[in-house]
Amino acid sequence: MKFPLTFSLFILLSVISGQTEKIEKDIQFHNSELDLLRKEIADYERKIKNTSDREKSEIERLNEIDEEISLVRNLIYRLRREEKIKEKSITQAEVTIEKKESEHTSLVNRYAKRVTHTYKKGRLSDLEKLLDAKSWRQAVYRAKYIKIISEHDRSLADEIRRNLVEIDAKRTVLERELTDIRKIDKEKLSRKKWLEQRRRVRNKELGNLKRDRQKMSVALNQRKKAAQQMESIISRLDRERVARIAELERRRKEMELLGSVPFKELKGKLPWPIEGKVISRFGTYQNPNLKTVTENTGIDIHGSEGTEVKSIYDGIVTTVTYIRGYGNTVILDHGDGFYSVYTHVMDVEVEENSYVNARDIIAHVGDSGSLEGTKLHFEIWGNKDKLNPELWLKKR
């Protein structure tokens, strides 16, 4: 069955349109994710402005600055990721355009040669060719030949048209991506300038706080509140874990890990989330300056800013949040009532309800919510009990 040329072109345009719609959906998804972050920052800034500075203590101001910095850092990190996606898309579009333009040149040259050859040799009508045949057999062969040549000419013309449509579609995408990347770069530079200014204010506030023993004692009490909040979060997660365990088992089955060793049997065998010196151990300790006793519900590991933080075992990401005293926090559910907690992190790589493999990068070391600079605060919980992480991690 033959399709008219206009119908073939309609089908072709429908395919190109479908590809363009998919690209549009991807762009809308990324843009909506960035817009949510921008809205969260704007809402938080409004919330801060609604409270008079005179009503706030230095600790409250420091917490607000820290949380605001955390939100903006997250946006800058997402903008960097979006920029990389756009750069990749631009490279792919440029390669495709170059390839299609080369194909187009080749097709046009072939078509031009065909037309030139026909013009030079002169062209009998199809009917004349058939009547000029010396036998019935030759007439049949000529009829088939004429059909093949005609179909080839149509096919060549269709291919030239199709290439032009594809080149045009790719150029449209390329132009849009280049416009987007310029906007991203402009916003990123603006946010970075703001971030540098706020970090200077934060460091000044933190310096003032450290010089005042009474205020520092209040700040450490806030760390206790953060530990209590973490206990509440773990209890809530434990009550909700039935659905999560089903999802974890499904993902492990997909990854052919269902028969893997249960978490409870890995005591002393788990990998460290980062390499670094333990600067604060599990349990109660006395602050040498304030002479106060504080409980550490995990361990603090020293790390340079930006160091990759890796999951100690596979699991479901239950929580990505900001907790005052802990800063940016990620919690993983490893099944059988076991959880691992990673705080003071930045540039979080995972999202809530996503599945991670053991040793996946989940975040990077930062100073979010920390009074002692960049470090990772790391905890392990089992059946709602705080566990000493050093007993579960490999000896080194």
Q: What are the pLDDT digits (tens) for 32-81?
A: 767 776 777 677 667 656 655 554 566 677 777 788 788 778 777 877 87
Contact status, residue 304 vs residue 344, Cβ threshold 8 Å: no
Mean pLDDT, residues 195-212: 72
Give the pLDDT confidence score for residue 289 in this predicted structure. Answer: 61
Among residues 299, 311, 287, 310, the alpha carbon closest in space to that of 375 is found at: 299
CA distance 55 to 61: 10
Location of structure tokens 């309800």: 353
Residue 286 is inside which H or E element, if any?
strand 283-286
Residue 309 is inside which H or E element, if any?
strand 308-310
Helices (H), the chain: 5-49, 58-121, 126-131, 136-211, 213-239, 241-254, 389-392
CA distance 175 to 156: 29
User: CB 52: neighbour CB atoms within 10 A?
Assistant: 7
Give the pLDDT confidence score for residue 270 in this predicted structure. Answer: 96
CA distance 169 to 345: 42
Query: What distances in angstroms separate CA 264 from CA 242, 272, 334, one per listed residue?
Result: 18, 16, 10
Mean pLDDT, residues 190-209: 75
What pTM was computed for the model?
0.63
State pLDDT tens for residues 348-370: 989 888 999 999 999 999 998 88
Give the pLDDT confidence score for residue 91 in this predicted structure. Answer: 81
DSSP state letter for 1: -
User: CB 345: neighbour CB atoms within 10 A?
Assistant: 30
Among residues 360, 380, 253, 266, the alpha carbon closest in space to that of 314 is found at: 360
Q: For the chain, which domains are there?
A: 5-209 (no CATH), 219-392 (2.70.70.10)
Q: Bridge-partner residues for 366, per DSSP?
A: 375
CA distance 173 to 31: 15
State pLDDT tens for residues 215-262: 556 666 667 778 888 888 888 888 887 778 888 888 887 777 655 788
Give the pLDDT confidence score for residue 48 in this predicted structure. Answer: 59
Contact status, residue 390 vs residue 299, Cβ threshold 8 Å: yes
Contact status, residue 381 vs residue 234, Cβ threshold 8 Å: yes
State pLDDT tens for residues 114-125: 656 555 554 444
